[in-house]
Chain A
Amino acid sequence: MLAEHFPALLVVTPLVAAPLIVVVRSARAGWAMALAACLAAVLMAAQLLARVAASGPVSYAIGSWPPPWGIEYRVDAASALVALLVSAIGTASVVYARRSAAAEIGGERLYLFYALMMLCLAGLLGMVVTGDAFNLFVFLEISSLSTYVLVALGRDRRALTASFQYLILGTVGATFYVMGVGILYLATGTLNLADLAVRLPQAADPRAATVAIAFITAGLGLKLAMFPLHAWLPGAYAHAPSAVSAFLAGTATKVAIYALARIWFSVYGADALLRDIPVAPVLAALSVAAAFIASGAAIVQDDLKRMLAYSSVGQVGYITLGLSLATEPGVAAAIAHVVNHGVTKSALFMLAGAMALRLGGTRFSDLAGVGRTMPVITFAFVIGGLSLIGVPGTAGFVTKWALAGAAIRAGQPVFAAVVLLSSLLAVAYIWRFVECAYFREPPAGAPAPGEAPASMTGTALALTAAVVAMGLHGAPVLGAAGRAAAALMGGAR
């Protein structure tokens, strides 16, 4: 049956779509093929999620070589949820890109954009489904390399600098990761994550495990923009094409977070993390710093996309704060925030991109009076902003609530206070946008009132509606995140 091969097909479909798009050399056909591949990925991920919820984790041996000798693809409640998030946001980004990328990139290279999107999607999905530590590195590099190029496609030359910096730092991060994996391999003789979890406690030298997790945490910390290793992120998000910003904001850092959680909790285990190796307190301290400093920096940015980028660093701080609690509710809240914030931030970048398209830029000076020229887009942006703040009725509230509750139950009410207090900083930066959009006169020569193309507006509004829907009915995401946390913390051991 075809459904048995879904774990592999999930990765292979976009991976095959990429060279096909290059062969066809047509932007229009490329868009259609990319969309088809994305939709297929969404359907497969949804089917996997349902199957995993019903009958437990799915293991798939590549080339029929049984694990731990061959490469295993392993889909459980955590990986299926993240895979669904990634493919859904990928689909929305491709729909959005048809007009957005045409306007921002244009010309003959446009079909390459879709090929790169597919490569990136394949890499991200591969990171999620693989059960092999080295294979994870390979997919990490596939997604990263395509991301560097995608960022460099941005419309001005600053995109090149941003992309170059991301390339250097991303490579450093990947190198650290692969060094950690190498140490693990030396100590245990295996690369399969489940097998690692079994063999690691029996390893001859426990110090190897400590060194390995230090490398892996630092390396993945760079990829997930853990404060203060976030330097690449504001530039990359601000200068990339809008569709790329929207795609990356909802997926790239989130998949790195997933990988970190997988290795922390499935390989090392929460007990070992709390007892032997002080990575969790370090991460907690950095998360608190992220929530305050990065969110504070977001307030004083003069470009909307940069503001959103700094806000992302702060919001990633909430996620890592949940992970650092190393309790099941904490990890569940973190995973739920991965989903809710991923959707929220993708929506916001799409809306910002729609403004950029009509107003020529996203500096606050460009956006003056946008509430009058683009009322629908602006209103949706405010809704998304309310979700960043965590106002009830939006997705952000659901996870803020879950995170605060998890911190209190873990005996860390201080962290609950951090989450709630730092959310007031989000009020300040969203308010800046509101002030600029509604209370300033449009600059002379501003375009006449009107919205962005329907495909862009429609996609962005659909995601915004999802933000509200997930806020009013938080149970599905919270339930899936709870199962994901259980799978992460107990599944592979």
Chain B
Amino acid sequence: MTASAFLHPGLWLAAAGVAAFFLRGRARQALLLAAPLAALAFVWMIPEGLHGRWEFLGFDATLARVDRLSRLFATIFAIMAFAGALFAMRQASRLEVPAAFVYAGSAIGAALAGDLLTLFIFWELMAVGSTLVLWSAAGPKAFAASRRYVAVHLFGGMLLMAGIAGHVAGTGSIAFDAMLPDTVAKALILAGFLLNAGAPPVSAWLPDAYPEASWSGMVFLSAFTTKTAVYVLIRGFPGAEILVPVGLFMVFYGIVYAILENDMRRILAYSIVNQVGFMVTGVGIGTEMALNGAAAHAFTHIIYKALLLMSAGAVLMQTGKRKCTDLGGLFRTMPVTAACGIVGALAISSFPLTSGFVSKSMISQAAADGHLLAVWLALAAASAGVFLHAGIKFPWFVFFQKDSGLRPAEPPASMRAAMLLLAFLCIAMGVAPEPLYAMLPHPVSYVPYTGGHVVGMLQLLLFSGLAFFLLLPMLRRTLTITLDSDWLYRRAAPRLIAPLGAAIAAGRRAVVTPVLGALAGLANGAGRFGSPRGAFGATWTTRATVMLVLALMAGVLLFSYR
């Protein structure tokens, strides 16, 4: 760091996390609560512009580029780190929150990164931090999930690095500005970004890994990785047309799987893919309105998704159960948790007067302004789908439905405080969107509360609500019969969606399973080959090696004979 000395909010947060790992008791709690607030203050104290120039690998790198867009994401990441730390105050694992701070700090670092190399460093650090968060849930399932998770993310990092290396070798510049995926290198960069966003064909890492985190770990995990990916897409690939179909696919992938799912936190994990799909679509549309919408939706989504996951986490902590079929009727003894969950559910459904309404409608409006009728219709249909799976299904099955006989108490005060804080933010941003709009990268002329918008949205929500309760007997019956054999619940799933779900499952059976089987067979063969008792791994005889030396030499001579 030369020239302008400043306190990097991301590095500060990560360092505070490391320090907190070695602290105990009140000092630890105080640091964990104070550090994100300090980071938030730093984000707003740094003036706009480039800061922290440093030399890396012979390039002139920039630690922090502060402008409206990067500040918006750094702000929400810092807020989220605070809310998560507050929620996780009772977390028994000593590792989780410190790891989450490293994770959040590197997400802030990635959002502020002024060039591709700096971005890549924070990108990889983020993968390490989030893996540690998963780990700290302990237990074999979380560990196995973290193994798959880290493999996917290092693979994504590899794509990104290949792309950056190629891009830099081609252009000689590490600048990170808007570009289009018109070369192999840039396409690789885009692929690396999209992998973290949970885009097809590898969306499955997200619902596979996140629900295995602890009751508080998933709150952290939901916030940073995918939204950093949204940020770099807004920054790097605005208006890349491929993002529209990719985003729409994610939207519907999330809905279909969330409706078929029974585990409450997996429902919410699929719903992350779905919501990020809205943002990716917005980036693909690429107008100022759409980019504003994507950025705003990322901001509001982090808050209401965290709220939903806190509510689910509180239920998990108090009951130890995750499946919708085991839960129900909890509103009697957990009214605060239920109320906060409902606020989150309303917000994710873009109910008027909640934060989701003021952000998601910007993306739809951008599609309408661009005369993208198909996109607009798809988004409208998807809004109904969101209400179905997250807006009603989650609170209904967990807090109402039947009486499961469970009588858990409310969670501790710190958890309630975190939930109430986020619930307040959800409603405040919905009632008064102006401060949020003022932070967006482009000037906003959009007015959410027009008669048309409100009435249109309410109609959509009411009719999908009606559909849910009409289909409910079917949903409930199947959900209580069995969830082990997948054909049963696929057959009984809502009829509109059943063929699609069946097709996806059939595709899985026909393509993915044999491929995975072949890969496993190959890996087994390779393992035998390389193991200390296999043909390769066993110590070769001296004679064999000498023969190889001769063969090598003879080969060289043969090839060079003229």
Asked if residues A176 and B128 are in contact (CB atoms below 8 Å), the reply is: no
Task: Determine whether B2 belongs to the interface, using a CB cutoff of 8 Å to chain A.
Answer: no
The stretch of A111-119, A147-155, A213-221 that contacts the partner chain: A213-221
On whether A402 and B57 interact (CB within 8 A), knowing A416-B166, A420-B158, A424-B158, the answer reads yes
Distance between A311 CB and nearest chain B CB, rounded to angstroms: 12
Bound together, the chains give a CA A488 to CA B408 distance in angstroms of 74
Asked if residues B120 and A392 are in contact (CB atoms below 8 Å), the reply is: yes
Asked if residues A478 and B169 are in contact (CB atoms below 8 Å), the reply is: no
Q: Which of B534, B536, B537 has the most CB of A within 10 A?
A: B537
Task: Determine whether A277 belongs to the interface, using a CB cutoff of 8 Å to chain B.
Answer: yes
For B117-153 the 0/1 string (1 means CB < 8 A from A) is: 0001100110010000001000010010001001100
The stretch of A69-77, A123-131, A184-192, A297-305 that contacts the partner chain: A297-305
Asked if residues B58 and A408 are in contact (CB atoms below 8 Å), the reply is: no
Asked if residues B546 and A300 are in contact (CB atoms below 8 Å), the reply is: no
Asked if residues A424 and B57 are in contact (CB atoms below 8 Å), the reply is: no
Asked if residues B552 and A282 are in contact (CB atoms below 8 Å), the reply is: yes
Asked if residues A231 and B539 are in contact (CB atoms below 8 Å), the reply is: yes
Asked if residues B556 and A392 are in contact (CB atoms below 8 Å), the reply is: no
The stretch of B205-213, B272-280, B370-378, B525-533 that contacts the partner chain: B525-533
Task: Determine whether A278 belongs to the interface, using a CB cutoff of 8 Å to chain B.
Answer: yes
Asked if residues A306 and B532 are in contact (CB atoms below 8 Å), the reply is: yes
Task: Determine whether B555 belongs to the interface, using a CB cutoff of 8 Å to chain A.
Answer: yes
Task: Determine whether B31 belongs to the interface, using a CB cutoff of 8 Å to chain A.
Answer: no
**Contacts of B166 on A, CB cut-off 8 Å?**
408, 413, 416
Asked if residues B150 and A297 are in contact (CB atoms below 8 Å), the reply is: no
Asked if residues A282 and B556 are in contact (CB atoms below 8 Å), the reply is: yes
Asked if residues B125 and A424 are in contact (CB atoms below 8 Å), the reply is: no
Asked if residues B552 and A229 are in contact (CB atoms below 8 Å), the reply is: yes
On whether A420 and B532 interact (CB within 8 A), knowing A228-B548, A435-B143, the answer reads no
**Contacts of A475 on B, CB cut-off 8 Å?**
55-58
Distance between A321 CB and nearest chain B CB, rounded to angstroms: 15
Bound together, the chains give a CA A231 to CA B532 distance in angstroms of 13
Chain A residue, CB-CB nearest to B123 = A392
On whether A282 and B555 interact (CB within 8 A), knowing A210-B560, A300-B537, A417-B162, the answer reads yes
Size category of the binding interface on chain B: 35 or more
On whether A431 and B150 interact (CB within 8 A), knowing A282-B556, A393-B125, the answer reads yes
Asked if residues B526 and A296 are in contact (CB atoms below 8 Å), the reply is: yes
Q: B169 touches which one: A219, A303, A409, A420 (CB < 8 A)? A: A409
On whether A231 and B542 interact (CB within 8 A), knowing A404-B161, A423-B158, the answer reads yes
Task: Determine whether A7 belongs to the interface, using a CB cutoff of 8 Å to chain B.
Answer: no
The stretch of A89-97, A133-141, A165-173, A446-454 that contacts the partner chain: A165-173
**Contacts of A232 on B, CB cut-off 8 Å?**
545
Q: A214 touches which one: B161, B541, B557 (CB < 8 A)? A: B557
Asked if residues B162 and A229 are in contact (CB atoms below 8 Å), the reply is: no
Distance between A176 CB and nearest chain B CB, rounded to angstroms: 7
Asked if residues A424 and B556 are in contact (CB atoms below 8 Å), the reply is: no
Q: Which of B121, B140, B549 has the most CB of A within 10 A?
A: B549
**Contacts of A213 on B, CB cut-off 8 Å?**
556
**Contacts of A235 on B, CB cut-off 8 Å?**
539
From residue 544 to 562 of chain B, which have CB atoms closer than 8 A to chain A? 544-546, 548-549, 552-553, 555-557, 559-560
Bound together, the chains give a CA A219 to CA B549 distance in angstroms of 8
**Contacts of A217 on B, CB cut-off 8 Å?**
552-553, 556
Q: A293 touches which one: B527, B530, B548 (CB < 8 A)? A: B530
Bound together, the chains give a CA A141 to CA B4 distance in angstroms of 56
Q: B545 touches which one: A169, A298, A301 (CB < 8 A)? A: A169
On whether A299 and B549 interact (CB within 8 A), knowing A231-B542, A278-B556, A392-B121, the answer reads no
Bound together, the chains give a CA A165 to CA B545 distance in angstroms of 10
Bound together, the chains give a CA A392 to CA B161 distance in angstroms of 10
Asked if residues A391 and B556 are in contact (CB atoms below 8 Å), the reply is: no
**Contacts of A231 on B, CB cut-off 8 Å?**
539-542, 544-545
Asked if residues A218 and B147 are in contact (CB atoms below 8 Å), the reply is: no
Chain A residue, CB-CB nearest to B557 = A214
Task: Determine whether B339 belongs to the interface, using a CB cutoff of 8 Å to chain A.
Answer: no
Task: Determine whether A398 belongs to the interface, using a CB cutoff of 8 Å to chain B.
Answer: yes
**Contacts of B546 on A, CB cut-off 8 Å?**
168-169, 172
Task: Determine whether B155 belongs to the interface, using a CB cutoff of 8 Å to chain A.
Answer: yes
**Contacts of A421 on B, CB cut-off 8 Å?**
158
Task: Determine whether A222 belongs to the interface, using a CB cutoff of 8 Å to chain B.
Answer: yes
**Contacts of B151 on A, CB cut-off 8 Å?**
424, 427-428
Bound together, the chains give a CA A231 to CA B537 distance in angstroms of 10
From residue 91 to 127 of chain B, which have CB atoms closer than 8 A to chain A? 120-121, 124-125
Asked if residues B556 and A297 are in contact (CB atoms below 8 Å), the reply is: no
Asked if residues A218 and B552 are in contact (CB atoms below 8 Å), the reply is: yes
Q: A299 touches which one: B147, B530, B548 (CB < 8 A)? A: B530
Q: A165 touches which one: B124, B154, B532, B542 (CB < 8 A)? A: B542
Asked if residues B162 and A416 are in contact (CB atoms below 8 Å), the reply is: yes
On whether A416 and B165 interact (CB within 8 A), knowing A172-B549, A231-B539, A234-B539, the answer reads yes
Bound together, the chains give a CA A301 to CA B532 distance in angstroms of 6
Asked if residues B143 and A300 are in contact (CB atoms below 8 Å), the reply is: no
For chain A, the count of residues having a C-beta within 8 Å of the partner chain is 67
Distance between B79 CB and nearest chain A CB, rounded to angstroms: 27
Asked if residues A401 and B169 are in contact (CB atoms below 8 Å), the reply is: no
**Contacts of B143 on A, CB cut-off 8 Å?**
435, 439
Chain B residue, CB-CB nearest to A406 = B169
On whether A431 and B542 interact (CB within 8 A), knowing A392-B121, A392-B124, the answer reads no
From residue 30 to 63 of chain B, which have CB atoms closer than 8 A to chain A? 55-58
**Contacts of A420 on B, CB cut-off 8 Å?**
158, 161-162
**Contacts of B165 on A, CB cut-off 8 Å?**
401, 404-405, 408, 416
Task: Determine whether B505 belongs to the interface, using a CB cutoff of 8 Å to chain A.
Answer: no
From residue 159 to 204 of chain A, which have CB atoms closer than 8 A to chain B? 165, 168-169, 172-173, 176
Task: Determine whether A8 belongs to the interface, using a CB cutoff of 8 Å to chain B.
Answer: no
**Contacts of A20 on B, CB cut-off 8 Å?**
none
Chain A residue, CB-CB nearest to B162 = A420
**Contacts of B541 on A, CB cut-off 8 Å?**
231
Task: Determine whether B436 belongs to the interface, using a CB cutoff of 8 Å to chain A.
Answer: no
**Contacts of B169 on A, CB cut-off 8 Å?**
405, 408-409
Q: Which of A214, A222, A293, A303 has the most CB of B within 10 A?
A: A214
Distance between B532 CB and nearest chain A CB, rounded to angstroms: 6
**Contacts of B150 on A, CB cut-off 8 Å?**
427, 431
Q: A176 touches which one: B135, B162, B549, B559 (CB < 8 A)? A: B549
**Contacts of B502 on A, CB cut-off 8 Å?**
none
Chain A residue, CB-CB nearest to B122 = A392
**Contacts of A357 on B, CB cut-off 8 Å?**
none
On whether A302 and B532 interact (CB within 8 A), knowing A172-B546, A282-B552, the answer reads yes
Bound together, the chains give a CA A236 to CA B150 distance in angstroms of 33
Bound together, the chains give a CA A474 to CA B154 distance in angstroms of 22
Asked if residues A474 and B57 are in contact (CB atoms below 8 Å), the reply is: yes
From residue 284 to 318 of chain A, which have CB atoms closer than 8 A to chain B? 293, 296-303, 306, 310
Bound together, the chains give a CA A409 to CA B165 distance in angstroms of 10
Asked if residues A176 and B553 are in contact (CB atoms below 8 Å), the reply is: yes
Task: Determine whether A279 belongs to the interface, using a CB cutoff of 8 Å to chain B.
Answer: yes
Task: Determine whether A359 belongs to the interface, using a CB cutoff of 8 Å to chain B.
Answer: no
Asked if residues A297 and B58 are in contact (CB atoms below 8 Å), the reply is: no
Chain A residue, CB-CB nearest to B536 = A297
Chain B residue, CB-CB nearest to A221 = B552
On whether A300 and B530 interact (CB within 8 A), knowing A214-B556, A392-B124, A405-B169, the answer reads yes
Asked if residues B162 and A404 are in contact (CB atoms below 8 Å), the reply is: yes
From residue 459 to 482 of chain A, which have CB atoms closer than 8 A to chain B? 474-475, 478
**Contacts of B532 on A, CB cut-off 8 Å?**
300-303, 306
Closest 6 pairs between A and B when the two form their complex, measured CB to CB = A297-B530, A231-B540, A392-B121, A408-B169, A214-B556, A300-B531
Can you offer 6 A-B residue contacts whose CB atoms are under 8 A?
Answer: A172-B546, A229-B549, A391-B124, A393-B125, A404-B162, A405-B165
Besides the known contacts A169-B545, A214-B556, A235-B539, 19 further A-B residue pairs in the complex with CB atoms under 8 A apart: A215-B553, A231-B539, A231-B540, A282-B559, A297-B530, A300-B537, A303-B532, A389-B154, A391-B124, A392-B120, A398-B57, A408-B166, A413-B166, A417-B162, A424-B151, A427-B150, A427-B151, A431-B150, A435-B147
